[in-house]
């Protein structure tokens, strides 16, 4: 089992969906990622929160075995995000964003964190992602996320990041914005030519696609009776994906496919409740059971 390091945001979210709302709940890319990954391996987290950040959230993260040595607590208010979803649940409409202490966040990697087995760079400024890469010894696998804001405003810096990472994990809208065309197969070919070895495209209710120079692999979204809040599903997917790979240390094509399914499993649990509430009560036996359900869902016999 190898240690997994995540650098990203820890936030307080206020979310409204057609199925309810939650106010000032635990959120942020690093919180979702680390919680999902903690079901598979040990996780070190680097982020920043304000002096108003509730202790109950710190206790929860620690209860998952997440090392918070790198979680800086700074004078001021915690990063806050407010959004709402329509019945389609594909994309949130942001109502308010207050970066607060996150606006001046400059990740500093403690010595004990500088040799991770694997590293995930959450959705932060590409310049900061580059700075993190300069501070660590080369991990077995580096993956990163980004968003349209950075694609539009820091494209050159983002490409410098992508030249140094092994996997890019983004949604289909971000992939099209980065690739500059609508066809995801063509987008994947272009991105893989310029940067990472693997491109993973999250497509919400339509599942996920993995592209690399050896294979293309697709997995559906798990059919659920209840979807209450999609917030953090992508980060939870990344946490399950990276957590499984860190736990096994196996980067074979077969292992990457299994990691995709474990990531999809973790995302499917997350959307069943607001914030991280479903993962708070999740048991690993449930993860294994849903993994087997995924396998049955996608299995078919050769007719020849």
Please report the domains of the chain, with CATH numbers, ordered by start residue: 4-298 (3.40.1190.20)
Distance separating alpha carbons of residues 14 and 182, to the nearest angstrom: 32
In contact, 235 and 247? CB cutoff 8 Å: no
Task: Give start and end residues of each alpha helix (H) in 7-94.
Answer: 29-37, 55-63
Distance separating alpha carbons of residues 246 and 287, to the nearest angstrom: 17
Q: DSSP assignment, residue 296?
A: H
Backbone torsions φ then ψ of 212, nearest 5 degrees: -150, -175
Which of 90-128 are b and which e, b meaning 16 or more Cβ less than 10 Å from the residue's Cβ?
eebeeeeeeebbbeebebebeeebeebbbbbbbbbbbeb
What is the predicted pLDDT for the residue at 274? 96
The pTM (predicted TM-score) of the whole model is 0.96
Around Cβ 73, how many Cβ atoms within 10 Å?
15
In contact, 227 and 109? CB cutoff 8 Å: no
Tens of pLDDT, residue by residue, the chain (304 residues) = 568 999 999 999 999 999 999 999 999 999 999 999 999 999 999 999 999 999 999 999 999 999 999 999 999 999 999 999 998 787 888 999 999 999 999 999 999 999 999 999 999 999 999 999 999 999 999 999 999 999 999 999 999 999 999 999 999 999 999 999 999 999 999 999 988 999 999 998 899 999 999 889 999 999 998 899 999 999 999 999 999 999 999 999 999 999 999 999 999 999 999 999 999 999 999 999 999 999 999 888 888 7
In contact, 208 and 201? CB cutoff 8 Å: yes
Distance separating alpha carbons of residues 142 and 294, to the nearest angstrom: 26
Which residues have C-beta within 8 Å of that of residue 4, sequence separation ≥ 6? 37, 41, 42, 43, 44, 116, 117, 118, 119, 120, 242, 243, 246
Q: Which tokens in the block code for residue 231?
A: 């917030």
State how far Cα 175 lies from the chain centre: 15
């Amino acid at each position: 089992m190898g240690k997994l390091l995540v650098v990203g945001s820890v936030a307080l979210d206020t979310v409204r969906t057609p199925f309810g709302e939650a106010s000032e709940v635990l959120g942020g890319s690093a919180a979702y990622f680390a919680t999902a990954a903690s079901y598979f391996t040990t996780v070190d987290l680097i982020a920043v929160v304000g002096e108003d950040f509730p202790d109950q959230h710190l206790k929860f993260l620690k209860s998952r075995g997440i090392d918070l040595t790198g979680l800086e607590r700074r004078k001021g208010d915690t990063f806050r995000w407010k959004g709402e979803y329509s019945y389609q649940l594909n994309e949130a409409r942001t109502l308010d964003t207050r970066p607060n202490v996150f606006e001046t966040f400059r990740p500093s990697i403690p010595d004990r964190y500088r040799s991770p087995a694997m590293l995930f760079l959450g959705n932060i400024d590409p310049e900061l992602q580059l700075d993190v890469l300069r501070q660590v010894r080369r991990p077995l696998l580096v993956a990163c996320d980004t968003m349209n804001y950075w694609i539009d405003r820091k494209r050159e810096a983002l490409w410098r990041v992508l030249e140094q990472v092994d996997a890019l994990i983004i949604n289909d809208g971000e992939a099209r914005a980065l690739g500059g065309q609508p066809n995801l197969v063509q987008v994947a070919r272009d991105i893989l030519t310029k940067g990472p070895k693997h491109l993973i495209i999250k497509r919400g209710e339509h599942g996920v696609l993995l592209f690399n120079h050896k294979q293309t692999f697709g997995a559906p979204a798990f059919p659920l009776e209840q979807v209450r809040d999609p917030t953090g599903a992508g980060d939870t997917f990344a946490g399950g994906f990276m957590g499984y790979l860190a736990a096994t240390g196996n980067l074979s094509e077969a292992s990457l496919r299994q990691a995709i399914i474990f990531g999809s499993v973790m995302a499917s649990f997350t959307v069943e409740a607001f914030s991280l509430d479903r993962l708070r009560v999740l048991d690993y036996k449930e993860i294994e059971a849903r993994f087997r359900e995924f396998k049955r869902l996608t299995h078919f016999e050769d007719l020849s």
